[in-house]
Each structure stands twice: as C-alpha cells, then as structure tokens.
Chains A and B, each alone.
Chain A
Amino acid sequence: MTDATPVVEMRNIKKNFAAVQALRGIDLTLHHNEVLGLVGDNAAGKSTLMKVLSGAYIPDEGEILIEGTKVHMGNPLDARRLGIEMVYQDLAIANNLDVTANVFLGREAVSSQIGPFGVMDGRLMEREAQRLLDRLKIDIPSVRLLVERLSGGQRQAVAIARATAFNSKVIIMDEPTAALSVAAISKVLDLVRELKAQGASIIIISHRLEDIYSVSDRMVVLRHGRKVRDTPVSGDIDTFRESVVAYLIGARNDFAITTD
C-alpha cells in the first residue's frame, strides 16, 4: 500500500491559538481504502487536526496534499469540493427535516429554475436517499421520517450516509460512537466496516479504544499537539490497549527525537 500515492498527506502541520500551540508539527498520511484510528487525550489536538483537514481551520504552517496534489482550503466547502467529508460530533443534522432533506442538505437536486428559486426534485432525492440507505444497509423504515423521531444511532447513520452520498474520497468521523447505546455503537461500527468494504478511506476519532481496535487498520496517537505513535493495529486487544495508554499518558514516544 505504501508505494501508491496516499489519498491524504499532511506535512508538518502547525496551528496556534494565541499562546496555545495546539498542533506542533504533525505529519499524517491516509492511504486508499484505509481506516485510520486517531486517538489522544483531551486537548491532544485530534479535533483541531481534523478541522484543519476539513477546512474549518487554516493551519499556520505545513501543507496538505490530496492524492499527491497540494491544496489550499479556506473553508469547509473547499474541503467538500475536494471530496473530504466530516461527520461532526454534534451531528450537524436539522431535526425538523426528514431523512432525505438531511442527506441532501445544502446540495439539493434541482429540476428547474424559476428566477432566483431552484425547484427541488423531491422524488429523485427520495429515491436516491433510499438507495443510499439500502446500499449502506442502514435500518431506517422510511426516508420521509423526521430526524427528530429517529434514535441516536439512526441519526448518526444519517450523518454518515450524508458524508458518503457524494463520492467522497475521505470521510472523517469525530467521535461517532460517543453518546450511543451499546447496540447502536455496534451498528455504527458495522457501518464503518461496510464503508471500507465499499472502498472508502476513513479517519475515525474516538475515545473508545475498543472501537478503534475493532475497525481500524492503522492508528495514530497524539499527545500535546505532537504525533507520538503511528502503527498498524495488530495483536490482541489487551496488549493493544496497554501500549496505547502508555503513549496517551506520555510514558512512551516513538518520535521523541523530533522534539525541539
């Protein structure tokens, strides 16, 4: 896999918020059809790094390459145009709209244009939304259901479905299993595996090491804005957890030489 061009390559990314150095020079690569687990304690810089990748933050230093081409992203729409989709922790779903409307939010299919108003092609969107849910094996009885009537797991599924709806290259999931029931968590993880089976490249942030262990191919640990571990996920869960915790709390660091 290493010989092919990685789908995402972030080089020496730095980001400061006033006096706080949130990211102190992070390199991160994501290969095609790979699930990358991103872990770290609170304030380690996971979310900041992903916000840089999804265009919400502009890095102070460093460069981002998408499929080998250097890109500049000024806002989330730029990132989306490049095929980077983010599933936000707080879901970013409008509860008063139905499943179809949420999947197509901001990208409604238009059948005709009357002056400044685009007329929506409602049936086309419903059919596409249904097809998408079927393809991802998401269990929601009707695409016409209002999202407020869905369970937490189903809402997460809608948010993930939206991220995959438009031929995205990279899907970033920020804590997709937080605040979900055990049954819902396993469904979301199944969905991640399904996406990988269909060829998606995914970065998944989670506090739950079991989740990372069960779906990821590779794992990156961040601490205090630096990368301290970058390794394939292997071995049994107990040794995996033990070693990760050692990196999380700062007992070990694979990249200690690069410290300034």
Chain B
Amino acid sequence: MSFKDQLKAQTHIFRDYGMYIAFVVIVIFFTITTKGLFISSRNIGNLVNATSYIAVLAVGMTLVIVIRHIDLSVGFLAGTLGAVAAISLKYWLFPVGASIPVTLALGTVAGLITAFLVAQMRIPSFVATLGGWLFYKGTLQLVTVSTGTIIIENKLFNAIGNGYIPDIPIPGFLPGVHKVTLLLGIIAIILFVTSDINNRRKTQAYNFEFLPMNMFIIKEVFISAIIAGITWILSGYQGLSWAAVVLAIVVIFYSYITLKTVTGRHIYAVGGNPEAAELNGISVRKITYLVFGAMGFLTAVAGIL
C-alpha cells in the first residue's frame, strides 16, 4: 500500500481534524496580511486574554447545542453577572472570596431557570432564551444605571481577568522569556504524548483498530508542534494569563466529562435521540437541567473574566 492509499484510507482523520487545519490556515493568512504582526507575542498574548471569556462560553454552548437547544441569553447574562460581581466588590464591599462564589451561584441559578422553562414548561429554548436575552439586557442597564463603568481597584479580582501568572526569574537564562509558561507547555506536551502512547498500547492489546505507526507519529509531532509554538509565542510576551489558565481548566474538565463519563455519554445520547434515551432510562429532563445549569455557571465564569 502506497503512502497515498494510506492517506486516502485515513480521510476521516482529516474530517476529525478539519477545525485544526482551518485554524492553521487562518493564522497563516492573517500573519501574511499583517506582515507578521499577527503572530507576534504581544498580539497573541492580548488575543488569548481578550477572547478567553468567549471560549469559556463556547465550551458550555457546545453541550447546549449537543442536546438540541440554544442559549441566546448568555451574552447579556455574562455582562450582568460581571456587573454584579463588580458592584458587590465596590459598593457592597464583599471580599473577593465571597463575590466570586456568589456570582457563580447566581449564574447557576440563572441557568437552572432557563432549564426550568425549557424542560418543565416545554418552551422552545430559542424563545425562552430570547426572553432571557431581553431580560438580562434590561437587568444590565438597571444595575449599571447609577454607576456607569465600574472601575475595580481589587488587585486579586483584576488579576483573574487581566493578570498573568508569575514568573521565576533566572538571571542570564533566556532573558525576556516567560519561563513558567515554557515549563507548563513542556509538561503539557509530555503529558499528551505519554497518555496517547499509553492509550495506543492498550488499544493494541485489545486487538482493536488503531492508527498505523507513521500516521500516529505525524499526529503526535503535529499536535506537539502546535502546543510548542503557542507556548513559545505566549512566553515571549508576559506569559500565560490567568484567564487562559481558567480556560484550560474548563476545557480539560469538560472534555473529560463528555468523553469519559457516563454523564457525558448520556448528554450525547439525549442529543442523538431523546426518545431513545428516555426509553433506555436516561432522564432527558435531568440532562437538560444539568447542561443549562453548567451553561449558567460558565456564563458566570465568563462574566468574571
């Protein structure tokens, strides 16, 4: 079998990794059109910092879409919750340790209210969350009417939204490069490759189909190179922001839940065929509450960022 034939047999891999390929194309395109400015450490660092709250929302929204619903209200809900967090810090003089849990709890409650409308009242999620969108838009204006833009002096709170993780200065070694970020990137690559090799070995032991060795190596090198590249670029500016750390935790936690646990499997089953899920003893209502509740929680996280 020639390499070309093997490539053909693995076309589903290209389908699976289509998003990554599109991502690379976008990066290359903007790097060329901005004469390399796009890929500079400063720009990527700011970009990651500025968009991490959208990424957090996207993680939650993925599951909402998986179970055949939509949540239009998250944008203004995130804004409202962010404002609530800010007001509680500045005017109610909450400590950060109280303000954040309160905001997260409010977000979860908001999500559960949406779930109630969708699962219990059987209102189509599009309609229910369109109502939510208007409601939270109004709420945001109401809570900020007397204050306008709220400037928070609390260092800890600001750090979560805009700060960067600390660095250990080593004199003479790689000046201007964020060492901790670099170290984390290396750890991430090692963890990824070892777990993938382990996985492959176990799969082989069970006599299931697995990637041919050359494709496997290409995949490992490709993904490692991407992680290494992103790490190197980020460490050239101020390193990893706290927002990116929060995002990474959210992504890792969610992918584990959806891929490896019974709960995740049930979420996908409800999305694939709600009637079948119900007949097999999966409560569609419970899953709806769980997914919208989690969406509300993540909206609060996004609001704080």
Interface residues of A (CB under 8 A from B): 76-77, 80, 88, 90-97, 101, 105-108, 110, 114, 116-120, 122-123, 126-127, 142, 144
Max chain A Cβ within 10 angstroms of own Cβ: one of B209, B257, B261: B261
Alpha-carbon distance between A110 and B279 when the two chains are bound, in angstroms:
20
Contact A101 B269 (CB under 8 A): yes
Alpha-carbon distance between A51 and B260 when the two chains are bound, in angstroms:
34
B271 beta carbon closer than 8 Å to chain A: yes
Q: List 9 A-B contacts (CB under 8 A).
A: A94-B276, A97-B268, A105-B265, A105-B277, A105-B282, A106-B281, A107-B281, A108-B262, A123-B202
**Main SS class of interface, B:** helix
Per-position contact with A for B264-280: 1 when CB-CB < 8 Å, else 0? 01101101110111011
Contact B281 A101 (CB under 8 A): no
**A95–chain B nearest beta-carbon distance, Å:** 5
**B65–chain A nearest beta-carbon distance, Å:** 12
A117 touches which one: B209, B257, B279, B282 (CB < 8 A)?
Answer: B257
Alpha-carbon distance between A120 and B261 when the two chains are bound, in angstroms:
5
List the B residue with the shortest CB-CB distance to A126.
B208
Contact B282 A106 (CB under 8 A): yes
Contacts A119-B260, A144-B208; is A88 near B279 (CB within 8 Å)? yes
CB neighbours (8 Å) of B280 from chain A are 92, 105-107
Alpha-carbon distance between A108 and B261 when the two chains are bound, in angstroms:
9
B51 beta carbon closer than 8 Å to chain A: no
Alpha-carbon distance between A95 and B276 when the two chains are bound, in angstroms:
10
Contact B261 A119 (CB under 8 A): yes
List the A residue with the shortest CB-CB distance to B263.
A117
B23 beta carbon closer than 8 Å to chain A: no
- Interface size class of chain B, counting residues whose CB lies under 8 Å from the partner chain: 20 to 34
Contact B206 A118 (CB under 8 A): no
Contact B275 A90 (CB under 8 A): yes
CB neighbours (8 Å) of A88 from chain B are 279
A118 touches which one: B262, B271, B277, B279 (CB < 8 A)?
Answer: B262
Contact A126 B206 (CB under 8 A): yes
Contacts A93-B276, A94-B276; is A101 near B265 (CB within 8 Å)? yes
Contact A96 B271 (CB under 8 A): yes
CB neighbours (8 Å) of A110 from chain B are 262
Contacts A96-B271, A126-B208; is A105 near B263 (CB within 8 Å)? no
List the B residue with the shortest CB-CB distance to A91.
B276
Alpha-carbon distance between A43 and B231 when the two chains are bound, in angstroms:
67
CB neighbours (8 Å) of A77 from chain B are 281
List the B residue with the shortest CB-CB distance to A96.
B272
CB neighbours (8 Å) of A91 from chain B are 276
Alpha-carbon distance between A100 and B203 when the two chains are bound, in angstroms:
15
Alpha-carbon distance between A77 and B202 when the two chains are bound, in angstroms:
35
Alpha-carbon distance between A221 and B36 when the two chains are bound, in angstroms:
78
Alpha-carbon distance between A246 and B239 when the two chains are bound, in angstroms:
83
CB neighbours (8 Å) of B261 from chain A are 114, 117-120
List the B residue with the shortest CB-CB distance to A148.
B272
List the A residue with the shortest CB-CB distance to B281.
A106
Contacts A80-B281, A120-B262, A123-B206; is A94 near B273 (CB within 8 Å)? yes
CB neighbours (8 Å) of B265 from chain A are 97, 101, 105, 108, 120
The 8 closest A-B pairs by CB, nearest first: A94-B272, A106-B280, A96-B272, A92-B276, A118-B262, A106-B281, A117-B261, A94-B273
CB neighbours (8 Å) of B263 from chain A are 116-118
CB neighbours (8 Å) of B275 from chain A are 90, 92
CB neighbours (8 Å) of A101 from chain B are 265, 268-269
**A140–chain B nearest beta-carbon distance, Å:** 13
Alpha-carbon distance between A101 and B281 when the two chains are bound, in angstroms:
14
Contact A95 B206 (CB under 8 A): no
**B301–chain A nearest beta-carbon distance, Å:** 19
Contact B209 A142 (CB under 8 A): yes
Alpha-carbon distance between A144 and B16 when the two chains are bound, in angstroms:
15
Max chain A Cβ within 10 angstroms of own Cβ: one of B208, B268, B273: B273
Contact B262 A105 (CB under 8 A): no
List the A residue with the shortest CB-CB distance to B208.
A126
New A-B pairs, 15, CB < 8 Å, besides A117-B261, A118-B262, A120-B265? A76-B279, A94-B271, A94-B272, A94-B273, A95-B272, A96-B271, A97-B269, A101-B269, A105-B282, A107-B280, A117-B257, A119-B262, A123-B202, A123-B206, A142-B209
CB neighbours (8 Å) of A120 from chain B are 260-262, 265
**A248–chain B nearest beta-carbon distance, Å:** 29
Contacts A108-B265, A117-B257, A127-B206; is A93 near B281 (CB within 8 Å)? no
CB neighbours (8 Å) of B282 from chain A are 105-106
B209 touches which one: A108, A116, A123, A144 (CB < 8 A)?
Answer: A144
CB neighbours (8 Å) of B269 from chain A are 94, 97, 101, 105-106
CB neighbours (8 Å) of B271 from chain A are 94, 96
Max chain A Cβ within 10 angstroms of own Cβ: one of B206, B260, B276: B276
Per-position contact with A for B218-261: 1 when CB-CB < 8 Å, else 0? 00000000000000000000000000000000000000010011
Contacts A96-B271, A120-B260, A120-B262; is A105 near B208 (CB within 8 Å)? no
